[in-house]
Amino acid sequence: MTPVKLYPTKPDKVYFYGTCLVDMFFPEAGLDGIRLLEREGIEVLFPEDQTCCGQPAYTSGYHDEARAVAAAQLDLFPKPWPIVVPSGSCGGMMRTHYPSLFAGTEHEARAEELAGRVFELTEFLVHVCHLKLEDRGHLEKVAMHTSCSARREMGLAETGPALLAKLGQVELVEQARAAECCGFGGTFAVRHPEVSAAMVEDKACAIEAAGTARFVTSDCGCLMNIAGRLEHQQKTVKGEHIASYLWRRTS
């Protein structure tokens, strides 16, 4: 069972942890997440030395290697400000797994303290910023995909839909496989490509069958996987990170 998260009042400053996939493939999603926070009057600090959270090594069973990568992140957020992550996957790694990964080591206390300050972006916008949105887009139907890490590790199945519900011209349509994994799973897609391909095929078909021309997600791994499959199928359904979607419709 996911523990109850206690939410602070809206802070003056936050750290932003960009993630590898945002950095390499979807930088605009990271920038749009920062813009949403700054529009709320929050100063956003981006430590330039940040790298991978260590999840790929961790989920592949290489815990020593994961600790080496993750340890390099622990000193990057010294002030007691929230750490906002535009990914339930990386956010789940830092909040849920850092404490056990560093248990019994010299970094245990720091890992515990850092984990308590980690928030996924949609979670932070809903529960800390209490974000209000003025929709300036046209009438549109949209499907939402919430990653497994956000849904199951962080307990955030509702925050993405809650933000979309604040857009007056957007109709959120339910896809038949909303709670199912898209098959990406980080290194899972590499180690089990046939299974991953079958899973994303089901997901892509469900999104198209929902009767929408667009889906949004808060995780770039899922975005890359599902949108890539739809493009391979030559479908017209497009994908977008929820940060970019919210910024585009309200700026």
DSSP 34-91: HHHHHHTT-EEE--TT----SHHHHHTT-HHHHHHHHHTTTTS--SS--EEES-HHHH
Q: Which of 127, 148, 168 is the last residue of a domain?
A: 127
Q: Which of 127, 160, 189 is the last residue of a domain?
A: 127
Q: Which of 100, 127, 154 is the last residue of a domain?
A: 127
Lookup: tokens for 57: 């090594």
Short-list 156, 165, 173, 108, CA closest to 131: 165
Is residue 107 in a domain?
Answer: yes
Q: Tell me which residue range forms the domain holding 187.
A: 140-250
Q: pLDDT, tens digit, for every residue of 192-221?
A: 999 999 999 999 999 999 999 999 999 999
Q: pLDDT, tens digit, for every residue of 103-131?
A: 999 999 999 999 999 999 999 999 999 99
**What are the φ and ψ backbone dihedral angles of 12, each rounded to 5 degrees?**
-80, -30
Q: What is the model's pTM?
A: 0.95
What DSSP character marks residue 8? P
Measured in residues, the chain has a length of 251
One domain for residues 108 and 152: no
Short-list 21, 60, 55, CA closest to 190: 60
Is residue 4 in a domain?
Answer: no
Question: Burial of 132 by CB count in 10 Å (0-12 exposed, 13-18 middle, 19+ buried)?
Answer: exposed
